[in-house]
């Protein structure tokens, strides 16, 4: 088997040496070189053809975010971001994912002192898988192609569940930024992320799209805006029209789970439910999409050509997705849906419990 060829961009010689040892431990990953600056990494990409690049975000000179943008616009290759900043400080990692990086890992989660350990082994498994992910040049430009005509007009829905994994942040950015700021239909989002990065993604999206993007909280009434499942909890729709965070039910391979979200939407919104399954590995969302279809709701899957990984959308298509569209077509279809308030739900309430929709949160651009 041909080894996976990896280029490391990391300015700490000690960290880079540990990372190289961890990557090469099983002898089926070969590190082509270590570049202490983004400029050197870009020059190396001009002469070498690595299967994947690991990118530190804090670098002397050009930072890692600018490097990801340059790589994806000139010499597309899967990029895995390694960051010391997680939680509220993780916006730069989210921006890198939005620019086309395929994954982000917190440096603190990698035990490089034990290359035979569980975390290092899991990291190698992920690197092998991501090295085969197709990436596209100018990802945002590609996503902004002329919109596909929307589906049948006149449909009204109460809630839209959107789920994504690998490659999802850039598609979420495109879809959310294409919707008007006063979009009335609540959006419930599950994005599979590495530990520590969901909060940064929420902050980054909230600053860069018109719709208000908020981390979901338990028992909040369903309201306009985009509500993102936090780490370690299934986001579900309750029968009373409130959000439910479930940290107790079996998680399966994912917590939060797209299946848990979409199944709850199907149960409580029925024909007024809509599900959108975006790029990602595996089959999470397939069972939920089938539940929405059986309930008479709308199921949309991202098409193969625009997906970084076609696993999740393909599984949803196999379950009978009604529409298969690129991101511009998804955004156009969502924009043409009408809003049908959920029967029995608390109405006219914002996340804070007051009348809505109202002014933007204080301090939000």
- pLDDT tens, 35-89? 999 999 999 998 999 999 999 999 999 999 999 999 998 889 999 999 988 877 7
Fold matches, 4-137 and 148-339? yes
210 contacts: CB under 8 Å, gap ≥ 6 = 176, 177, 179, 180, 181
Q: Model confidence over 141-151: pLDDT tens digits?
A: 444 443 444 55
Which residues are part of the catalytic machinery? 165, 192, 284
Gap between the Cα atoms of 151 and 324, Å rounded: 10
pLDDT at 358: 39
Question: Quick one: pLDDT at residue 140?
Answer: 47
| Phi, psi for residue 68 in degrees, rounded to 5 | -60, -45
**CATH class of the domain at 4-137:** alpha beta
Q: What per-residue confidence (pLDDT) applies to 79?
A: 97
Return the exposure string of 315-339: e unless at least 16 CB atoms fall within 10 Å of the residue's CB, then b. bbbebebbbbbbbbbbbbbbeebee
Kindly report the pTM of this predicted structure: 0.86
Domain boundaries along the sequence of the chain? 4-137, 148-339
Residue 81 and residue 103 in contact, taking contact as beta carbons nearer than 8 Å: yes
CA 108 – CA 137 distance, rounded (Å): 31
CA distance 44 to 55: 13
Question: Cα angle vertex 165, ends 164, 167, to 5°?
Answer: 95
Give per-10-residue mean pLDDT for the chain (365 aa).
94 97 97 97 93 96 95 92 86 93 93 94 96 72 45 83 95 96 97 92 96 97 97 95 92 88 97 97 95 97 92 95 95 96 62 40 47
Residue 345: the pLDDT is 63
Angstrom distances, CA of residue 310 to CA of 128, 204, 228, 240, 252:
17, 25, 22, 35, 20
pLDDT at 152: 53
What was the pLDDT predicted at 217? 97
The fold of 148-339 is Rossmann fold (3.40.50)
pLDDT reported for residue 194: 87
Distance CA 33, CA 22 (A): 14
């Amino acid at each position: 088997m041909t080894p996976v060829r990896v280029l490391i961009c990391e300015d700490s010689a000690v960290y880079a040496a540990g990372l190289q040892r961890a990557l090469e431990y099983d002898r089926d990953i070969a590190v082509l070189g270590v570049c202490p600056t983004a400029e050197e990494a870009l020059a190396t990409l001009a002469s070498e053809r690595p299967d994947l690049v690991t990118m530190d975000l804090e670098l002397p000179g050009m930072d890692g975010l600018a490097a990801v943008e340059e790589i994806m616009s000139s010499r597309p290759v899967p990029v895995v971001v390694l960051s010391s900043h997680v939680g509220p400080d993780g916006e730069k990692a989210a921006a890198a994912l939005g620019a086309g990086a395929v994954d982000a890992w917190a440096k603190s989660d990698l035990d490089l002192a034990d290359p035979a350990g569980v975390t290092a082994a899991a990291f190698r498994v992920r690197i092998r898988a991501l090295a085969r992910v197709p990436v596209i040049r100018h990802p945002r430009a590609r996503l902004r192609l002329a919109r596909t005509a929307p589906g049948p007009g006149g449909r009204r829905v109460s809630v839209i569940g959107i789920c994504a994994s690998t490659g999802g942040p850039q598609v979420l950015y495109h879809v959310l930024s294409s919707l008007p700021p006063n979009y009335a239909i609540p959006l419930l989002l599950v994005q599979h992320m590495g530990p520590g990065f969901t909060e940064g993604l929420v902050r980054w999206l909230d600053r860069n799209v018109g719709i208000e993007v908020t981390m979901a909280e338990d028992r909040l009434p369903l309201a306009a805006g985009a509500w993102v499942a936090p780490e370690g909890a299934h986001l579900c729709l309750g029968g009373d029209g409130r959000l439910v965070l479930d940290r107790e039910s079996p998680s399966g391979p994912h917590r939060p789970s797209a299946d848990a979200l979409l199944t709850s939407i199907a149960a409580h919104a029925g024909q007024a439910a809509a599900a959108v399954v975006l790029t990602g590995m595996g089959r999470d969302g397939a069972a939920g999409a089938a539940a929405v279809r059986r309930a008479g709701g709308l199921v949309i899957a991202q098409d193969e050509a625009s997906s970084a990984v076609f696993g999740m959308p393909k599984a949803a298509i196999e379950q009978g997705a009604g529409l298969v569209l690129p991101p511009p077509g998804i955004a156009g279809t969502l924009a043409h849906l009408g809003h049908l308030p959920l029967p029995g739900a608390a109405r006219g309430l914002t996340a804070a419990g007051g009348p809505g929709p109202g002014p933007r949160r204080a301090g939000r651009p």
